[in-house]
Amino acid sequence: MPVHGDAIPYIGMYTLDLFCNQQHDPRVEATFTGQTFSGCCAQAKKAGWQINRGTKTATCPACKKRMRSMARGFAQDRRHEMRRTAR
């Protein structure tokens, strides 16, 4: 659940602040709270965020959808190119 500015902090809570790593104007950000990092990540993933622990980056739902459609289009172009060269 996103935290608003007037929220009361609780001891033992974990806060995960996410900022989209893609170029945005205005900047996309979200905050999730939970008892553990894994719990916060689960909430963020339910909200559509993509989190990469290896590179420590996050991608917002809009960019994730845009990147997926671009990858799908690229894959379709490659399949079409492979069919054309196979003949």
- Going residue by residue through the chain, which has 87 residues, state the pLDDT in tens, using 9 for 90 and above: 555 667 666 566 888 889 888 877 777 889 998 888 889 999 999 999 999 888 888 888 888 888 877 776 666 666 656 666 655
In 10 A of CB 63, how many CB atoms? 18
The DSSP 8-state label assigned to residue 18 in this structure reads E
72 assigned to some structural domain: no
pLDDT of residue 47: 92
The DSSP 8-state label assigned to residue 8 in this structure reads P
Domain containing residue 25: 14-61
5 assigned to some structural domain: no
68 assigned to some structural domain: no
7 assigned to some structural domain: no
- Counting the structural domains of the chain, the total is 1
9 assigned to some structural domain: no
77 assigned to some structural domain: no
Torsion of CA 17, 20, 23, 28, to 10 degrees: -70
- Nearest Cα residue to 28 out of 45, 46, 1, 49: 49
51 assigned to some structural domain: yes
20 assigned to some structural domain: yes
